[in-house]
């Protein structure tokens, strides 16, 4: 009997030990790491970093933050920022006869024929626009005593913006002009606009007395320096104390090497 009890006790002890061994293995840690917050991509110079979240029992989720930096435009300077226009070129293709000055600030003092009536007498091979102007000086005591028009880039630009860059090497501006009656004294100019943020370094001119025959003329640029040009061409007339209208035509205006 005692032997039987001993065997039963031995078997029971072995079973208990086996159960403890089977149950001694630790459970797997199955916690899942939280997903990192999504980084925000912004344009410009601002960077926003995503939020990182830690999941229970897991590792820390990683966040990837992307930064996008906006491109800053370059402001215009006194030398201009555009590509230089190659030579030769037609003045009317880049510059606009918009800069009315002197008596031209008074309505009606300088009139430009927009109907191109001067086209019938254009020289052969002429390019650009044919411009016919009539300047009626304002009463001397009330007006400037002179008038004129600049071809400007861009339109109506007196220096608030950079002018038009032009390739180096220009030696002259050529044009054809004639007077309605003959004897009209006109000063043709290039450059000379100053006094604001951007200024012309170019300042050239030629004074002529017109005839009724369309005649070629030249403004000499050989001693001039330039880069960004505000006033690519222009003209002025001295009112000479008179109020008599002065009419003339100018055509085929070009910058040349």
pLDDT of residue 80: 59
Cα dihedral sign, 144-187-225-154: positive
Name the nearest CA neighbour of 249 among 207, 200, 212.
212
pLDDT of residue 142: 79
- CATH number corresponding to 89-256: 2.60.120.260
188, 233 contact by CB (below 8 A): yes
Cα dihedral sign, 132-135-136-138: positive
Report domain extents, the chain.
89-256
237, 186 contact by CB (below 8 A): yes
pLDDT of residue 186: 98
Look-up of token digits 């220009």? 170
pLDDT of residue 114: 79
pLDDT of residue 141: 76
pLDDT of residue 116: 80
Please, which residues bridge with residue 99 across strands? 150
pLDDT of residue 25: 38
Instruction: Tell me the Cα Rg of the chain.
Output: 43
Name the nearest CA neighbour of 176 among 204, 202, 208.
208
69, 46 contact by CB (below 8 A): no
Q: Is the peptide bond before 190 cis (omega within 30 degrees of 0)?
A: no
pLDDT of residue 79: 55
Per-residue pLDDT of the chain (257 residues; tens, 9 = 90+): 444 444 344 443 443 344 343 333 333 333 333 333 333 333 333 333 344 333 443 344 443 433 333 333 333 334 556 899 999 999 999 999 999 999 999 999 999 997 788 888 888 899 999 999 999 999 877 789 999 999 999 999 999 999 999 999 999 999 999 999 999 999 999 999 999 999 999 999 999 999 999 999 999 999 999 999 999 999 999 998 899 999 999 999 999 99
Token pair in block for residue 27: 């459970």
Residues written for the chain: 257
């Amino acid at each position: 009997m005692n032997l039987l009890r001993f065997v039963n006790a031995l078997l029971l002890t072995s079973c208990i030990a086996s159960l403890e061994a089977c149950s001694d293995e630790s459970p797997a840690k199955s916690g899942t790491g939280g997903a990192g917050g999504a980084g925000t991509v912004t344009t410009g110079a601002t960077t926003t970093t995503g939020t990182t979240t830690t999941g229970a029992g897991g590792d820390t989720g990683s966040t990837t933050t992307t930064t996008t930096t906006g491109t800053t435009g370059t402001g215009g300077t006194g030398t201009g920022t555009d590509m230089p226009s190659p030579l030769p070129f037609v003045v009317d293709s880049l510059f606009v006869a918009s800069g009315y000055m002197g008596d031209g600030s008074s309505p009606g003092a300088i009139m430009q024929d927009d109907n191109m009536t001067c086209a019938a007498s254009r020289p052969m091979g002429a390019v650009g626009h044919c411009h016919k102007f009539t300047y009626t000086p304002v009463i001397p005591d009330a007006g400037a005593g002179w008038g004129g028009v600049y071809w400007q880039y861009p339109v109506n630009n007196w220096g608030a913006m950079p002018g038009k860059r032009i390739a180096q090497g220009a030696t002259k501006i050529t044009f054809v002009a004639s007077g309605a009656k003959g004897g009209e004294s006109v000063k043709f100019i290039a450059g000379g606009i100053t006094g604001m943020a951007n200024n012309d370094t170019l300042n050239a001119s030629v004074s002529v007395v017109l005839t009724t025959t369309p005649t070629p003329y030249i403004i000499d640029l050989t001693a001039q320096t330039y880069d960004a040009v505000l006033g690519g061409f222009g003209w002025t007339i001295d009112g000479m104390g008179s109020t008599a209208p002065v009419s003339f035509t100018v055509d085929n205006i070009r910058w040349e090497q």
